[in-house]
Amino acid sequence: MISVGIVGGTGYTGVELLRLLVTHPKVDLKMVTSRSEAGKLVADTYPNLRGFTEVYFTEPDVKTLSTCDLVFFATPNGTAMKMVPELLEQGVRVIDLAADFRLRDAAEWQQWYGMPHACEDVLAEAVYGLPEINRDAVRTAKVVANPGCYPTAVGLGFLPLIENGLIEDQHLVADAKSGVSGAGRGANVAALLCEASESFKPYAVEGHRHLPEIRQTLCGISGHSVGLTFVPHLVPMIRGIEATLYAVLKKTDVDLQALYEERYKNEPFVDVLPKGTMPETRSVRGANVCRISVFQPQGGDTVVVSSVIDNLVKGAAGQAIQNMNIMFELEETAGLNRPALMP
């Protein structure tokens, strides 16, 4: 059994992590920390976990966390980097669901997140945890930077095209939409039901924090810099991301359907839909899967890819557990092989 601790168990990604871990066949959930809820039974805060765990929230403490094999951080940006170095010294492995270790360049991290990085040496050794690209590196990683939700949907959608040099990669477009849970559990007027319902809007068009992360991933695939316009939108639903991706093909006689099916045929959590099928966010709700469709409208030189995920699962907690399974040489699907919730 893997002894696991969670730092920050009260946000949406934290409770999703709990929901998945409490039924994982190889996990002993040892501790869940929260300064605000310390002393309370986890199942009292989240009654959906009644009967699944008797763990209490505790204050975050490196000494007690050091008794775990693995610690997940489901905390705000800037928290994990202050605690991780000491945990690593104690031999604990770490998966951070925030952004502290996603960007390899510390100066770029400070530019986008507004604070200096607290442990640049750890940043240099962290592995970006998109298994479909970095599975081998994740196996031996001490620190895994769990990808963001938008970067997961966009990266997996563009991957086969860029990998094979099939598109003009200086003018890529990612038009993405997310449910309001992506904004987190904190009080936020824009995420209130009365504000978000019956509305649909773009945001952070000038530059979203996930933009440099997406660019870093795409540049890593291509081996050179790429041009990307990324526009996120808020839609009136709780969970889900749909990313519509656009690019210009270098040649039009490629069987794109076969290309995607071949690239992802051995990936347990990427589902390439039959030709002509339209992905739906409801088909991935609660599931650790990315469903993808690829289109070539009118047989022209434009390729359109639609990629859907649950932002809290494949876009956060589920992918983190997928990375844990890889790190500890478990079946990659352990604790994650469950269908989406419908309706």
Task: Tell me the catalytic residues.
Answer: 149
Between helix 131-139 and helix 149-163 the angle, nearest 10°, is: 100
Instruction: Give the phi and the psi of residue 186 in degrees, each rounded to 5.
Output: -70, 160
Instruction: Give the phi and the psi of residue 131 in degrees, each rounded to 5.
Output: -55, -35
**Which DSSP letter does residue 223 get?**
S
Identify which of 51, 52, 128, 144 has the alpha carbon closest to the alpha carbon of residue 92.
144
Q: Cα dihedral sign for 135, 137, 141, 143?
A: negative
Task: Give the burial class of 96: count Cβ atoms within 10 A of its Cβ; 0-12 exposed, 13-18 middle, 19 or more buried.
Answer: buried
Strand ranges across the sheet with 270-272: 201-202, 228-234, 167-178, 241-249, 302-309, 290-295, 270-272
Q: Contact, 98 vs 79, CB < 8 A?
A: yes
CA distance linking residue 129 with residue 178, whole number of Å: 21
